[in-house]
Amino acid sequence: MGVIILTAQRVSKAFGVVEVLSDVSFALEQQERMALVGVNGSGKTTLLRILGGQLAADGGQIAYQKNLQIGYLAQSYRAKPGRTVLEEASEVFADVYKTEARLRQLEVDMADATPESLRQIATEYERLSHAFEAADGFSVESRLQGVLAGVGFTKEQLSQVATKLSGGELTRLGLARLLLQQPDLLLLDEPTNHLDLEALNWLEEYLIDYKGAVIVVSHDRYFLDRVCTSVTEVHFGVSESYAGNYSRYVALRAERFASRNKAYELQQKEIRRQREIIKRYRSFNREKSIRAAESREKALARMELVERPEEEKQINFSFRAGRRMGEDALKATGVSKAFGDKQVLNNVSFSMRTGERAVLLGANGVGKSTLLECLMGRQQADTGDIWFGVNADKGYYDQKQQTLTGSKTVLDEVWDAFPRLEQHEVRGALGRFLFSGDEVFATIDTLSGGERARVALTKLMLRRDNFLIMDEPTNHLDADSREELEQALAGFEGTILAVSHDRYFINRIASRLLFLDANGIRSFDGGYDAWMASQGKTGLQDAGETRTKTEIVKEQKRSRAEQERLNTLRDHLTKAEQAVTHLEDELQMLEDSLTTPDVYNDHVAAQNAIREINAMKMRINKAYLAWEKAEQALESAQEDQVEEDQ
């Protein structure tokens, strides 16, 4: 076990009457890279701000290692006026530059120094030299250039005034500054936003080699798989920690949920069984059976109840094509587009066959979104021809959601687009995207990015187009919603052209990659990992445990044997219960016989009946013991199985 640098215990936070965090606890080790995951609105960013000191918790405790240096990356960054990109980043090394300047001055002073003053200068020079070396001052320039280039800044951009950068570029500048500071703990909120694939790969390698610890909030599952060594899920305000990367977490979470659900169902079944036994005992209306019933009632009251495991609501939808399209889906030839003096697209040509699923890739600003808008007729290409196949019905997903009307309610936004539908049909469709009750009356301009994305996807689903053109469809969606979107698209029988930086999405959807650059488009048949392998690079590695076929067969045999054992024990319990019932019935018949004239008027017959009654009571006592043993054996076996499943 490594050195623990941070512990959180029962951290809670509420905003007004809304409790966001109720019981968050975990420990972070040195060099651990932890992912914070959960659905949108689960409190991940709130927790990150609390850990970074930007927000105070309402309850709980957070303990930090002494002198721990923390660096926090928010989702937005503000640059100081007048500074260039390079100057803004260089500020991180202000103390190093100051030390270097003083060293140069001391070198000059040494030339004219007296023997007495030279001794003082030499002492200061030695002290500052050690400080300069400790700060790795000789590598400052190379680190600056390397990190700025790594997050995607070109040499030309380094001299650009930072305040004129776009929001995404400012976020990248903030990330660069934070990485250059090299704190003991990095707190990163969506660090992969606004990074192209090359920058994403660079950041992953940088963080994998990082000497400090990392806590990251991200919906980029590919990034989490490659970088993270542990996952903490925030679920209904409570945290749960898992070892391993994102894929390992998904598998363990499913296993844990299934195990808890099984334990809950077993307990509920046992409670129902015990109540039936209690009811039967009381129906016998005998002193011993009543005492047994009361004993079981007390045991039920003492039982520690297993709570039913809760799961967040998930979107659940599918895309269906209204009609078939011809064999050729799309052909673009010589497409060019410029905005003023800036040439965005230059002689772009490519084609798609019906049923293909292509993902368009390229550096930020290369014109991917512009190309989609030209294909959809939202932008007029300067040159070139664009042809869609016979019966092509084009559905467009705009990452900026510009087609939504801010003043409309969610219900009206969808219903106005499909006026022939009944209200219950529209509400049903919205319900599949988690809009229920009064939520459908919220106006579009009050929605979060994820909620707006779900409205746009609702409209796209209802259109039943056979050619989906999608610009960053997984943006604003949490990880579980992305999974549902991928599953829906996997079942779509039409054609897909998408722009995406989500490599998990690309691997699951793409049958072909289209690389756009200043010279046009290059094509590759296959998904992202296949392309990485073709470049001699490492794709996503499965961090889960591998099992041989022999191990799987053994596990299946062991499972069957355990099930057969449980079935045998259940049979024993049923037979024991039936034996008690049968004997109780016989006892009742014997006791009833004492009231008949043939018996109570005959002394010998009455004595014989009493002896039979006493013998029957002894048999019943033994039957009760056998029932108890059978019941205990089954309970013990069921508990063992639950423990093995966990």
Mean pLDDT split into 10-residue runs, the chain, 646 residues: 89 91 94 91 90 93 94 81 90 90 88 83 90 88 91 89 85 90 92 85 92 93 93 91 90 81 82 84 79 85 80 76 90 94 92 94 89 94 94 91 88 93 90 88 89 91 94 88 88 92 90 92 90 77 38 46 70 81 82 78 79 84 81 73 52
Report whether 278 contacts 297 (CB < 8 A): yes
* Residue-level pLDDT at 371: 95
Residue 216: beta bridge partners?
A: 35, 188
Report whether 409 contacts 437 (CB < 8 A): no
Two structure tokens written together for 25: 């606890």
Listed in sequence order, the residues at least 6 apart from 141 whose beta carbon sits closer than 8 Å to its beta carbon are: none
Give CA separation, 317 vs 225, 416, 483, 573, in Å.
Answer: 26, 20, 11, 46
CA dihedral 32, 33, 34, 37 (to 10 degrees): -170
Give CA separation, 525 vs 220, 515, 520, in Å.
Answer: 23, 11, 17
* Residue-level pLDDT at 239: 92
Ramachandran assignment for 542, one of left (phi > 0), alpha (psi -120 to 50 degrees), beta (any other): beta
3-class DSSP state for residue 543? coil
Structure-token match 């996997």, residue found = 490
* Residue-level pLDDT at 471: 94
Report whether 218 contacts 187 (CB < 8 A): no
Report whether 336 contacts 381 (CB < 8 A): yes
DSSP 545: P
CA 443 – CA 432 distance, rounded (Å): 19
CA 570 – CA 269 distance, rounded (Å): 13
CA 57 – CA 42 distance, rounded (Å): 15
* Residue-level pLDDT at 547: 37
Pairing status of strand 383-388 against strand 512-517 = unpaired
Pairing status of strand 59-64 against strand 70-73 = unpaired
CA 618 – CA 627 distance, rounded (Å): 14
- Burial class for 27, CB neighbours closer than 10 Å (0-12, 13-18, 19+): middle
